[in-house]
Amino acid sequence: MVRGVATTPRPPFAAVYFDCDSTLATIEGVDELLDAVDQATRAEIAELTEHAMNGTQPLARIYEQRLQKIAPPRALLDRVGALYVANMVPDVPGVIGALRFLGKHVGIISGGLLTPVQYLANHLGIPLANVHAVPLLFDAAGNYRDFDRESPLWQNGGKITVLNGLPAAQRPVAFVGDGATDLETKGTAELFVGFGGVATRAAVRAGADEFVPGPGLAGVLGHVLTAAELDQLRSEPEFRELLSAGEL
């Protein structure tokens, strides 16, 4: 099913986690770090990113290659965070607000860079304890040194590791994302919702438990909330337009 309320009964979810790039924001954060590289390198990095999102090459190899080529300085990270905020997918603030209104734990699990992802989370009111991404390491002058290789999120299966480490109070959990590493969470998260509002990937659409084509994120609510929870939102004027946008 791709729109509206899920036909398969689902238990209430204690938590809903999201990917960041091409799910909460319309951009790929790594592509916004390219000001200091030449056009040929930009094209190489764009191709590497597409391989990562489609799962056609191991993520670890691509991750290391992209950051070595870009070597982003620390000063660029807040700029990328601001671009995330400026380029949010339609309905994102409303969806996050609705989930928080209902008392859900809301978080982000991303293979992106931690500082920009935290910037977006702060804007949306998502607790930083629920934000998981890859930290970068810099020298004293703010020059790129490496990424945190202890993070599981620069490799395939990393999002599974993070989900398995969530506290018991955050289970059952639904996960929402657009790419191959998001699809890997199916079976670990109690529900995987594929999102195609920025990029529709055939494997994700075919493999997801549920799929929301977009362009906005509001349709996700029909899959992660019970009928009673949707009714509760309908009773609040601030959420009625949001539910209408999701055809709920």
Strands 105-113 and 131-134 turn out to be parallel
How confident is the model over 110-162, as pLDDT tens digits?
999 999 999 999 999 999 999 999 999 999 999 999 999 999 999 889 999 99
Residue 36 banded pLDDT, cuts 50, 70, 90: low
Residue 46 burial by CB count (10 A; 0-12/13-18/19+): exposed, middle or buried?
Answer: middle
Q: So what CATH class is 15-29+77-245?
A: alpha beta
Dump pLDDT digits (tens) for 75-115.
899 999 999 999 999 999 999 999 999 999 999 999 999 99
Q: For residue 3, what pLDDT is reported? A: 45
Q: What is the pTM of this model?
A: 0.90
Q: Where are the domains of the chain?
A: 15-29+77-245
**What pLDDT does residue 110 have?**
97
The tokens describing 232, both together, are 């509760």
In this predicted model, which residue has the larger pLDDT, 216 or 48?
Answer: 216
- In three-state secondary structure terms, 146 is strand
Would you tell me how many other CB atoms lie within 10 Å of the CB of residue 23? Answer: 28
Mean pLDDT, the chain, rounded, equals: 90
Give the gyration radius of the chain's Cα atoms.
Answer: 18
As annotated, the active-site residues are 19, 21
How far apart are the C-alpha atoms of 194 and 180, rounded to whole Å? 10
CB 215 within 8 A of CB 87: no
How many C-beta atoms surround the C-beta of residue 36 within 10 A? 11
Instruction: Give the Cα separation of 120 and 27 in Å (integer).
Output: 12
pLDDT at residue 2, as a whole number: 44
pLDDT band at 172 (very low <50, low <70, confident <90, very high): very high
